[in-house]
Amino acid sequence: MDSGDEINIYSDNEVNDYYGEDANNTDCNYESLIKEEDFVDSDSDSPVAKRPRLEGPPDQNYTVLKQSDIRERQENTIAEVATVLSVSKAVATVLLRHYNWSAVKVHEAWFSDEDRVRKNLGLLPIIEFPLDSTEVKCGICFDLFPTRDEIVSAACGHPYCVECFRGYIRTSINDGPGCLMLRCPDMSCCAVVDRDMVNSLVSEEEKHKYLTYLYRSYVEENKKIKWCPAPGCDHAIEFDDDQGWDVTCACEFSFCWNCVEDAHRPVDCETVANWMAKNDDESETKTWILAQTKPCPKCAKPIEKNEGCMHMTCHSPCRYQFCWICLGDWHNHINCNGYKEDKRKEVEEAKRHVQKYNHYYERWAAHNLSRLKAVSDLGRVQTEQIEQLSDIHGKTQIELGFIAEAWQQIVECRRVLKWTYAYGYYLPEAEDAKKQLFEFLQGEAEAGLERLHGYAEKEVRQFLNADERSVNFEGFELKLKSLTGVTKKYFEKLVSALENGLSEVQEAGKSNMEERWRCDRCTYANSWENVTCEICHMHQ
Amino acid sequence: MQASRARLFKEYKEVQREKTADPDIQLACDDSNIFKWTALIKGPSETPYEGGVFQLAFAVPEQYPLQPPQVRFLTKIFHPNVHFKTGEICLDILKNAWSPAWTLQSVCRAIIALMAHPEPDSPLNCDSGNLLRSGDIRGFQSMAKMYTRLAAMPKKG
Ligand SMILES: [Zn+2]
Ligand SMILES: [Zn+2]
Ligand SMILES: [Zn+2]
Ligand SMILES: [Zn+2]
Ligand SMILES: [Zn+2]
Ligand SMILES: [Zn+2]
Ligand SMILES: [Zn+2]
Ligand SMILES: [Zn+2]
């Protein structure tokens, strides 16, 4: 796009200067809608931060739009339609708004039946009133005016005095975006009050409001563009095709373009919507789940969870190590993701349901919180920790990039893991083989992530102490890199399995988890057909 | 003079002049307050409101006619778009479809039209709306007629 030219299609000869080109008229300058400082760190050509994508499509199927991009597109579309149809830009705007800002649709409708379009939208040919007409009565205040000098009208010619019409437009602008569809006040008339007319009558402040509505309508009425839902973010995302809904805004917020929920690949929107609605329904049962303290399963002293990973260690002297989620002994417990259906007959269905829901909700919420904690830790790592380590160990910040990468991986994996619990909740209980495969893959991925998260969180501490320059930093780097890579692979497997609807099960018949060999290095359970580990390539 | 007052005064004079123009509507302004009006409207014929006379109260805002007047029934009426207890009316032209070209007189006409053509899909009176929506026209009509007789007709004797 030719961004060098300052395109200002809103000002041409016969039309008022919509966005105030002249310098002393800055109040209602379109430019002032755009706070330049918002873009200082994102004005490059690749505004989207690099983040680890779990084998996502290499070509981005969406575009992040800044305010200036949105404005430019809007201006270009209006200019295009105005030129093709030979109408004023104000009229082109009316047409585009009606057809969801699609120039193609405007052209189609206009050239197949211009009269009908004009009639429907109130774009009437201008009616000239006879100049000799005597007194004119304003349709709002009912005062009589000796000449038409103080009278204004839309194309229909219904007369209103300037004061009344200004009040009419002003009231409508202050009522909200409906002012963009303003019509002649006459009860039986549908003539539009277009932007030219609005601009000629209202104050700068009101023009500014009107333009803000117009600007927002370009995104809100456009079928291919949505606002980024992150609080305070004013970017929008244009989506190009229906493959993979997850998008990441320039503000780094990831969301599903389709349902505008947090990014939830590999789980589909319907499952997410059901799950979120369910969470609303169950809001009472879940308050206790969110509590951030639990009694130590051994000594019953309350333990507060203040770290991201699920590996808890009680205060001394107990020092019992347990899993936050299932309260099981950390060392005897490989994974705690599998939900055991309670088979006892005396447990009523309702209770079973609550237990099942709680199991999944607790994990969903725990991983969500853990992800939020990891996001803030990642920020801290990038701003403080890497600098400290760089000073102490004489490494450049680029050499230390592997630490931030590890944290980015943790954030992304927590996100995936969180949604797999919504997926798991809806996985039909009858599909035993699928359930088994799912829980196996989820368990492996989760265990890998806990190892990585724990290592990144705790192991690094010894290197932040200047006195211990001698400790094996290279060993730490090697291990963290390998844990990052291994965890990434676990999650790639999990994501692709869920996206294929766990179809692996049908191919392999009943997959038998017991008959696998566990890799010594990364603990992945490999099929006996593999001679080397699927994850880390170590020989059996 | 305040714009709303000036406009109301014009409507007042118009009403005085054409007192007999619309026999179904009797509009009057409160002697001491031009922002308070009342109207008596006749129930339209061939409706359950036929024969009844209904009183409306208007509260006109300072921003009139840029903002609509608030109108409610003072007479009890069984109608899907009128609140049975408060008399509040659900009519688009009194809300988002308001235009300053409407007058108090034409608002009365719109309300008479609403009495003849209820919109059961935006009910303020759910009982009445439900009767109509379920197709129980006779049930609706007998209820509406009963209330017309009880509340909107002069007592005999
Ligand atoms: Zn006027
Ligand atoms: Zn008109
Ligand atoms: Zn954003
Ligand atoms: Zn979605
Ligand atoms: Zn303990
Ligand atoms: Zn841990
Ligand atoms: Zn556990
Ligand atoms: Zn391995």
* A458-475 average pLDDT score: 79
What pLDDT is attached to residue A442?
94
**Residues A285/A516, Cβ–Cβ less than 8 Å:** no
With an 8 Å Cβ cutoff, the interface of chain A facing chain B consists of 139-143, 163-164, 167-168, 171, 178, 185-187
> Cα–chain-centroid distance for residue B52?
13
In the predicted model, is pLDDT for residue B21 greater than 80?
no
CATH of the domain at B7: 3.10.110.10
Question: Ligand 4 centroid vs A261 CA: distance in angstroms?
Answer: 6
Average predicted confidence (pLDDT) for chain A: 81
Which of B80, B30, B91, B26 lies closest to B53, judged by CA? B26
Report the residue of B95, B99, B107 to disrupt the A interface, i.e. the one with the largest count of A CBs within 10 Å: B99
CA-based nearest residue in chain B for residue A178: B96
CB atoms A186 and B100 under 8 Å: no
Of B10, B66, B67, the CB nearest to A142: B10
Residue A24 or residue A123, greater confidence: A123
Catalytic residue among A309, A314, A323, A533: A309
pLDDT band at A243 (very low <50, low <70, confident <90, very high): confident
Cα of B7 to nearest chain A Cα, Å = 5
The closest CB to that of A140, out of B11, B65, B106, belongs to B65
pLDDT of residue B53: 96
Q: Is A349 exposed, middle or buried (0-12, 13-18, 19+ CB in 10 A)?
A: exposed
The helix/strand/coil state of A26 is coil
The residue written with tokens 């954030």 in the block is: A411
- Looking at the predicted structure, is the pLDDT value of residue A48 above 80? no
**Does position A36 have pLDDT exceeding 50, yes or no?**
no
The string of DSSP letters for B77-140 reads ---TTB-TTT-BB--GGGTTT--TT--HHHHHHHHHHHHHS--TTS-SSHHHHHHHHTT-HHHH
Residue B51 domain-assigned (yes or no): yes
Confidence of residue B1 (pLDDT cuts 50, 70, 90): low
What is the band of A512 on the pLDDT scale with cuts at 50, 70, 90? low
Q: What is the pLDDT of residues A372-384, one digit of tens each?
A: 999 999 999 998 9
Mean pLDDT of B118-133: 77
For residue range A135-152, what is the model confidence (pLDDT) as tens digits?
Answer: 889 999 999 998 888 899
- Name the most confidently modeled range: A407-411, B22-26, B85-89, B135-139: A407-411
Q: Which of residues 53-82 of B touch A (CB under 8 A)?
A: 63, 65-67
Range list of H helices, A431-472: 432-458
Shortest Cα–Cα distance, B73 to chain A (Å)? 24
Six-digit token pair at A281?
């329904």
Least confident among A31-40, A464-473, B116-125: A31-40
Nearest-5° angle of CA A230, CA A236, CA A240?
Answer: 125
3-class SS of residue A459: helix
Least confident window among A50-54, A496-500, B23-27: A50-54
What pLDDT sits at residue A30? 43
Within 8 A of B3 by CB-CB distance, chain A residues are 141, 163-164, 167
- Name residue B53's beta-bridge partners: B42
DSSP structure string for A469-488 = TTS-HHHHHHHHHHHHHHHH
* Alpha-carbon distances, residue A77 vs A194, A200, A218, B153 (angstroms): 17, 23, 10, 62
Lowest-pLDDT choice from A192-196, A220-224, A295-299: A295-299
Average pLDDT over residues B152-157: 70
Q: What are the C-alpha distances in Å from A115 to residues A80, A99, A103, A158, A183?
A: 20, 16, 18, 21, 18
Q: Which of A281, A461, A420 is nearest to A338 (CA)?
A: A420
User: Which of A52-66, A367-381, B82-96 is the most confident on average?
Assistant: A367-381
Tell me if A225 sits within 8 A of A237, measured CB to CB.
yes
Report pLDDT for A500.
87
Query: How confident is residue A346, by pLDDT bands cut at 50, 70 and 90?
Result: very low
* Angle at B6 (CA atoms; ends B3, B12), nearest 5 degrees: 140
Mean pLDDT of A32-55: 42
The pLDDT, as a whole number, for residue A296 is 79
What is the value of ipTM here, to two decimals? 0.83
Yes or no, beta carbons of B100 and A163 under 8 Å apart: no
**Top-confidence residue, A494 or A471:** A494
Asked if the model's pLDDT at residue A508 lies above 60, the reply is no
Using the beta-carbon criterion (under 8 Å), do A143 and B6 form an inter-chain contact?
yes
Residue B47 located in a structural domain? yes
Name which of A142, A153, A171 to mutate to probe chain B: the one with the most chain B Cβ atoms within 10 A of its Cβ.
A142
Q: Does B1 contact A at CB distance below 8 Å?
A: no
Q: How confident is the model at residue A21 (pLDDT cuts 50, 70, 90)?
A: very low
Tell whether the model's pLDDT for residue A342 goes beyond 60: no
Residue A169: closest CA among A188, A149, A192: A192
At B106, list the tokens.
């034409």
The residue-averaged pLDDT of B39-43 equals: 95
**pLDDT at A293 (0 to 100):** 66
Q: What angle do CA A431, A437, A442 make, to 5 degrees?
A: 120
For residue A188, list chain B residues with Cβ-Cβ distance below 8 A. none
| Closest ligand relative to A533 C-alpha | 8
Residue type, A175: D
Q: Which residues of B touch A140 (CB under 8 A)?
A: 7, 65-66, 100-101
Number of domains in chain B: 1
Q: Is residue B157 part of a domain?
A: no
d(CA A118, CA B82): 37
Above 50 in pLDDT, residue A345? no
* Contact residues for A377 (Cβ-Cβ < 8 A; gap 6+): A308, A407, A457
Is B49 contained in some domain?
yes
Which residue from B minimizes the CA distance to A138? B101
The pLDDT score that the predictor gives to residue A13 is 40
Nearest to B100 among A143, A168, A178 (CB): A168
Q: What is the chain A residue with the closest CA to B110? A: A187
CA of A441 relative to ligand 4 center, distance in Å: 23
Question: Rounded to an integer, what distance in angstroms lies between the CA atom of residue B130 and that of residue B128?
Answer: 5
Q: What is the mean pLDDT of chain B?
A: 89
Q: Lowest-pLDDT range, A143-147, A484-488, B100-104, B124-128?
A: B124-128
Q: What is the pTM of this model?
A: 0.65
Residue A15: pLDDT over 60: no
- DSSP character for A532? B
Query: Ligand 3 centre and the CA of A47: distance in Å?
Result: 11
Q: Which domain holds residue B41?
A: 1-152
Contact B101 A167 (CB under 8 A): no
Question: In whole angstroms, how far apart are CA A10 and each of A13, A29, A77, A199, A252?
Answer: 10, 11, 12, 11, 33
Q: Which ligand is nearest to the CA of A450?
A: 6
Q: What number of C-beta contacts closer than 8 Å exist between A and B?
A: 35
Cα–Cα distances in Å, from B145 out to A379, B48, B74?
Answer: 72, 5, 17
Assigned token pair, A373: 């904690």
pLDDT at A461 over 90: no
